[in-house]
Amino acid sequence: MGVTCVAQVPVAEGKSVQQTVELLTRKLELLGAEKQGTFCVDCETYHTAASTIGSQGQTGKLMYVMHNSEYPLSCFALFENGPCLIADANFDILMVKLKGFFQNAKANKIESRGTRYQYCDFLVKVGTVTMGPSARGISVEVEYGPCVIANDCWNLLMEFMQSFMGSHAPGVPSVFGTKHDSVYGPADTMVQYMELFNKIRKQQQVPVAGIR
Amino acid sequence: MEPETFLDHEMVFLLKGQQASPFVLRARRSMDKGGMPWHLRYLGQPEIGDKNRHALVRNCVDIATSDNLTDFLVEMGFRMDHEFVAKGHVFRKGIMKIMVYKIFRILMPGNTESIEPLSLSYLVELNVVAPAGQDVVSDDMRNFAEQLKPLVHLEKIDPKRLM
Amino acid sequence: MAGAPAVRISIESACEKQVQEVGLDGSETYLQPLSMSQNLARLAQRIDFSQGSGSEEDEPGSAGRAWAEPGEAEDEEGLVKFQPSLWPWDSVRNNLRSALTEMCVLYDVLSIVKDKKFMTLDPVMQDPIPPKQNPQFLQLISKKKSLAGAAQILLKGAERLSKSVAENQENKRQRDFNSELLRLRQHWKLRKVGDKILGDLSYRSAGSLFLHHGTFEVIKNTDIDLDKKIPEDYCPLDVQIPSDLEGSAYIKVSIQKQAPDIGDLGTVNLFKRPMPKSKPGSPHWQTKLETAQNVLLCKEIFAQLSREAVQIKSQIPHIVVKNQIISQPFPGLQLSISLCHSSNDKKSQKAASEKQNPEDHLYVLEHNLHQLIRECHKQTLSSTVMPHPASAPFGHKRMRLAGPQAFDKNDISSLQSNEGLLEKIIKQAKHIFLRRRTARTIDSLASRIEDPQIQAHWSNINDVYESSVKVLITSQGYEQICKSIQLQLNIGVEQIRVVHRDGRVITLSHQEQELQDFLLSQMSQHQVHAVQQLAKVMGWHVLSFSNHVGLGPVESIGNASAITVASPNGDYAISVRNGPESGSKVMVQFPRSQCKDLPKGDVLQDNKWNHLRGPFKEVQWNKMEGRNFVYKMELLMAALTPC
């Protein structure tokens, strides 16, 4: 796992999500990247049930359970600003058992699907973010394989992203700030995705359909 | 060949809801072997129709997790009910796992160095994880338990009686 | 008698008390002696006051007068009548006195008889004794009887002794068997079933999953005659191995050129390898069991290989015939793995006489096969299978880490290495073959071409799938100057990767010709590089240099290289063109003033133009002195450099 940056690319003026994605992928192919299959990152939201809120005396927390096709045998569970647990695939079954305590906000399920491109040491994933049937945005994930210390290769990543994303290249992700010199891990990537999904969810301000 | 020994630290977490019975999750880690993932286990209620079976059957979900499991469970709302250290040997016969271990009480919460044994005797546990519906397994377990007869009497336990 | 001296007699009273009773523990209870008053009472009781003293007369009279003492007066009698034992010693004295009287009488009689004057002793006539029996006969009988008695005792003793000796012998034999059995137990697993002792020589306890029982039976060797001398190699224990594990076996792995016809396949090549000599001191059952175990292992290896050969799909299918597996690692090449099992019976002895080429057999691969199957065994037994923590489900340790540590697809696929035994051994065979052929190519080139020289330094530490060799192309005598061609060859399974000193990486296929062509082209380049280095040393200036010239005839292998160098004062120039096929061509450029047959023209008026270099002349290189190209070049340069 190398250092990864997840960013959102705004939809180009007058174009649809699909067309913007195509623009990006064509730029990548011109650069010389080769297509290497597809990827999918999805996120489900769980809400602490009302029954438990009362007894605990605190506001309900949102728990996100995410999967990444890059790590097919793992399941990521995280709280916003909280710990991120990496477990194996049986965690989903456990969430089914915890139905009474944590309820799945099914309408909040969000995912990003797209193609993977390999360009020497860089792995680029351009995906369409969809919530339900509608496409809401575009996510771009760039991974620089050889490096594991976030702050060491940020400049290189940014330069690379500028080469095909142009002015839409993002700033330093927030997770990098807390990392300092510790090793970057898959959990940090999932945190970035979670933040991206939350941002996209808030953008169009679609009301979260019934928690119950 | 030496039998495999183990030293585990188990913590039992409860989530109290409006229902009468709290949700129980068991988090167990290996203290002697480094680099092994934590083991999170959920055990359901004993199945109905259990009377004819020779062994206790419960629904079970086993999850291997990363090391920040306890923090995560606390964040989810679980609270630790009790913890203990188990030390002993583990054996295997096909899919049957036999554990012979002593339970140690932890004197200071959080400190696994200061432990004292709960009793001088060992606990022998025979368990099998099998796909749902395979009841034949309990017969094999009983046959195996018969072979241990004069040394150990393995019996089906009723968790309700212990609660 | 009156003259006889008085005899002094000493008397002692026993003074013993009467025993009343003897207790159970032996202690005696004594009657208490009577006290004075009690004594008096007793005596008083005796006196019959009703009778007078007259009755007392009869008593002494009725008592025998046999011991009437001659010296005693009658008044003594009377005294006795009236005084019933005044003192306790009275009777004693009387008895003694009568005894003395008797003795005196006897003495007197004997002395008179001795004299024979007044008295003689006459024997009484007895019946004549019966005619004297033969004393010898009696003696014989008595001797016989006594001897018989003695003999009986001796025989009994001897019988006991012989019985004990026989028992000892039996014990010894029994003990020998037991001690041998103990030794056997130290090496092999034994168990008792009924009254038979069975053992296990399979690898099941070491992790093998092969379905062969592998049980042998331990028999007591009782057909030994105790009377005869026990032979040297006698062993009280014998083992009986299963019939299909008899004899010895090994796996023969060989690489050959492809057999022209398929009809040759399936011939069981029973190359009887001599039985490995048993270690001195190890009993014969140990070698027997070890050989049987080896046969079992070879069978397992072959079974696994044939199973994989049939199941795994490869581009060129593997052929499995009887005891041979044939596959094709490279085109034109054939790898055959066969199980050679020779039993000890006479039939196979004849077949073994056919000549086999032992050099064909790749011992390394056979050893590797054994190692690989043992690795497979260890996999099933490895403790990474046991879960830690203990409550976790069974499964490989790395698989359980895959979830929490977020393994990606590469990591997961490396977890599940599904390369079987056959694939591994074919890869190893390919590598061995490629390595051998590379070595042969380099060696043949080295022996064929003397200038430049090619040196190969093989690395000592290799992998089963990779070896490396460093190839240097040098000129003899100029190794320090001309060392620009250094190649590192990494020989893999199917390809050879060449890393050049200047950083280029070239991948060659397994074709022999490619490597040879490449080396030849490098050798030709080396000559030109050598000239460049030589020029530096000699002070000549390099005017032009090209590794791949586009002029002149096209080479079939690689490209020609060329260099032009000028002398220090600029008068002369040497131009060299060297190609792998066309060889070297050396031309020298002379100054115009030295050329006689130059056309004179009107354009060049000044004399100074005559100092420029003019036409080229070819050097007859083969007539040049010098043992190699660089030496010749040095001589040429030296000749063209005026002092």
pLDDT score recorded for residue C331? 84
C546 domain residue, yes or no: yes
- Distance between CA atoms of C144 and C90, rounded to whole angstroms? 60
Average pLDDT, chain B: 85
* A156-170, B113-127, C202-216, C625-639: range with lowest mean pLDDT: C202-216
Is pLDDT above 90 for C431?
Answer: yes
| Four-way CATH pick for A3-40+111-204: 3.30.70.560, 3.20.20.70, 3.20.20.190, 3.30.310.180 | 3.30.310.180
pLDDT score recorded for residue C49? 72
DSSP characters over C220-283 = E-----SSSPPPTT--SEEEE--GGG-SEEEEEEEEEEPPS-GGGTT------PPPPPPPTTS-
Is pLDDT above 90 for C42?
Answer: no
B32 neighbors B41 (Cβ within 8 angstroms): no
A143-184 pLDDT, tens digit per residue, is 998 988 888 888 899 899 888 888 888 888 888 888 778 889
- Distance between CA atoms of C225 and C323, rounded to whole angstroms? 45
- Distance between CA atoms of C148 and C396, rounded to whole angstroms? 87
Percent of chain C with pLDDT over 90: 26
pLDDT score recorded for residue C63? 43
Is pLDDT above 70 for B135?
Answer: yes
Please report the ipTM that was assigned to this predicted complex: 0.83
pLDDT score recorded for residue C151? 93
**Residue numbers in chain A where pLDDT is lower than 50:** 54-55, 57, 205-212
CB contact under 8 A, A72 and C400: no
C401 to chain A: closest CA residue: A88
C207 domain residue, yes or no: yes
CB contact under 8 A, A1 and C406: yes
Q: Tokens 């590089």 sit at which residue?
A: C529
Q: With an 8 Å Cβ cutoff, is A8 touching chain B?
A: no
Is pLDDT above 70 for B125?
Answer: yes
Please, which pLDDT band fits residue C243 given cuts at 50, 70 and 90? confident
* B150-154, C1-5, C205-209: range with lowest mean pLDDT: C1-5
The values of phi and psi at residue C16, to 5°, are: -95, 145
B94 to chain C: closest CA residue: C394
Per-residue HEC secondary structure of A153-205 comes to CHHHHHHHHHHHHHHHCCCCCHHHHHHCCCECCHHHHHHHHHHHHHHHHHHHC
C255 neighbors C433 (Cβ within 8 angstroms): yes
C210 neighbors C300 (Cβ within 8 angstroms): yes
Q: With an 8 Å Cβ cutoff, is A83 touching chain B?
A: yes
pLDDT score recorded for residue C66? 39
Most confident listed range (B5-9, C29-33, C223-227, C257-261): B5-9
Taking the CA atoms of residue C509, residue C515, residue C518 and residue C522 in that order, the dihedral angle to the nearest 10 degrees is 140
C225 domain residue, yes or no: yes
C596-630 pLDDT, tens digit per residue, is 777 777 777 777 887 888 889 999 998 988 899 99
Taking the CA atoms of residue A19, residue A25, residue A30 and residue A31 in that order, the dihedral angle to the nearest 10 degrees is 140
C452 neighbors C527 (Cβ within 8 angstroms): yes
pLDDT score recorded for residue C73? 41
C62-81 pLDDT, tens digit per residue, is 444 434 444 444 444 444 44
Mutation choice for C interface testing from A4, A36, A40, A73 by most C CBs within 10 A = A73
- The greatest distance separating any two alpha carbons of chain B, rounded to the nearest whole angstrom, comes to 51
**Helix crossing, C284-311 with C421-448: angle to 10°?**
90
Domain that holds residue C317: 189-260+284-344+360-382
Mean pLDDT on C232-254: 81
Residues of C in contact with B86 (CB under 8 A): 390
Which chains have at least 3 CB atom pairs separated by less than 8 Å from chain B?
A, C
Is pLDDT above 90 for C419?
Answer: no
* C135-144, C264-273, C376-385: range with lowest mean pLDDT: C264-273
Boundary residue ending a domain (C330, C352, C382): C382
Q: What are the sequence ranges of the domains in chain A?
A: 3-40+111-204, 42-51+60-104
C235 neighbors C183 (Cβ within 8 angstroms): no
B97 neighbors B91 (Cβ within 8 angstroms): yes
- Distance between CA atoms of C183 and C291, rounded to whole angstroms? 18
Cis link prior to C280 (omega < 30° from 0)?
Answer: no
pLDDT score recorded for residue C344? 64
Exposure of C72 in the CB half-sphere (CA atoms within 13 A): 17
The three-class DSSP label of residue C602 is coil
**Which of these, C142, C365, C351, lies nearest to C251 by C-alpha position?**
C365
C557 domain residue, yes or no: yes
Please, which pLDDT band fits residue B42 given cuts at 50, 70 and 90? very high
A187 to chain B: closest CA residue: B66
CATH of domain B4-161: 2.40.320.10
Average pLDDT, chain C: 81
Residues of A in contact with B78 (CB under 8 A): none
pLDDT score recorded for residue C508? 94
- Distance between CA atoms of C491 and C514, rounded to whole angstroms? 14
Q: Which two tokens stand for residue C468?
A: 């490396």
Rg (CA), chain B: 17
pLDDT score recorded for residue A50? 60
The values of phi and psi at residue C532, to 5°, are: -60, -45
H or E element at residue C574: strand C573-579
B22-33 pLDDT, tens digit per residue, is 889 999 999 988
Q: What are the sequence ranges of the domains in chain B?
A: 4-161
C587 domain residue, yes or no: yes
CB contact under 8 A, C408 and A86: no
Q: With an 8 Å Cβ cutoff, is C406 touching chain A?
A: yes
In B44-63, the residues whose Cβ lies within 8 Å of chain C are 62-63
C94-117 pLDDT, tens digit per residue, is 999 999 999 999 999 999 989 888
B45 neighbors B58 (Cβ within 8 angstroms): yes
pLDDT score recorded for residue C280? 62
Q: With an 8 Å Cβ cutoff, is B98 touching chain C?
A: no
Per-residue HEC secondary structure of B90-136 comes to EEEECCEEEEEEEEEEEEECCEEEEEEECCCCCEEEEEECCCCCCCH
H or E element at residue C573: strand C573-579
Please, which pLDDT band fits residue C175 given cuts at 50, 70 and 90? low
Please, which pLDDT band fits residue C21 given cuts at 50, 70 and 90? confident
Per-residue HEC secondary structure of C190-218 comes to EEEECCEEEEECCCHHHCCCCCCCCEEEE
C289 domain residue, yes or no: yes
Rg (CA), chain C: 64
Q: With an 8 Å Cβ cutoff, is B41 touching chain C?
A: yes
- Distance between CA atoms of C84 and C372, rounded to whole angstroms? 128
Is pLDDT above 70 for C354?
Answer: no
C251-309 pLDDT, tens digit per residue, is 888 888 776 555 555 454 555 555 555 566 667 888 888 889 999 999 998 998 888 88
Picking from B29, B38, B90, the nearest residue to C386 by CB comes out as B90
Contacts of C515 by beta carbon, 8 Å cutoff, 6+ apart: C438, C441, C496, C508
Q: Which two tokens stand for residue C353?
A: 């006489």
C380 neighbors C283 (Cβ within 8 angstroms): no
pTM above 0.90, yes or no: no
Please, which pLDDT band fits residue C518 given cuts at 50, 70 and 90? very high
> Higher confidence at residue C93 or residue C531?
C531
Amino acid at A138: I
Residues of A in contact with B69 (CB under 8 A): 85
C581-599 pLDDT, tens digit per residue, is 888 999 999 888 887 777 7
Amino acid at C491: I
> Higher confidence at residue C501 or residue C258?
C501
- In this structure, the strands spanning B4-15 and B79-93 are antiparallel
- Chain B residues with at least one Cβ partner in A under 8 Å: 15-19, 23, 40, 42, 44, 61-66, 68-69, 71-72, 75-77
In B18-37, the residues whose Cβ lies within 8 Å of chain C are 26, 28-30, 32-33, 35-37
Is pLDDT above 50 for C387?
Answer: yes
Contacts of C332 by beta carbon, 8 Å cutoff, 6+ apart: C257, C258
A67 to chain C: closest CA residue: C406
Cis link prior to C358 (omega < 30° from 0)?
Answer: no
Q: With an 8 Å Cβ cutoff, is B8 touching chain C?
A: yes
Mean pLDDT on C30-48: 82
CB atoms within 10 A of CB B69: 26
- Distance between CA atoms of C588 and C391, rounded to whole angstroms? 88
CB contact under 8 A, B39 and C391: yes
Which chains have at least 3 CB atom pairs separated by less than 8 Å from chain C?
A, B
C547-593 pLDDT, tens digit per residue, is 999 888 898 988 999 999 999 988 899 999 999 988 899 999 988 88
Total domains present in chain C:
2
Amino acid at A84: C
> Higher confidence at residue C204 or residue A40?
A40
CB contact under 8 A, A85 and B68: yes
C362 neighbors C253 (Cβ within 8 angstroms): yes
CA-CA-CA-CA torsion sign (C378, C379, C381, C387): positive
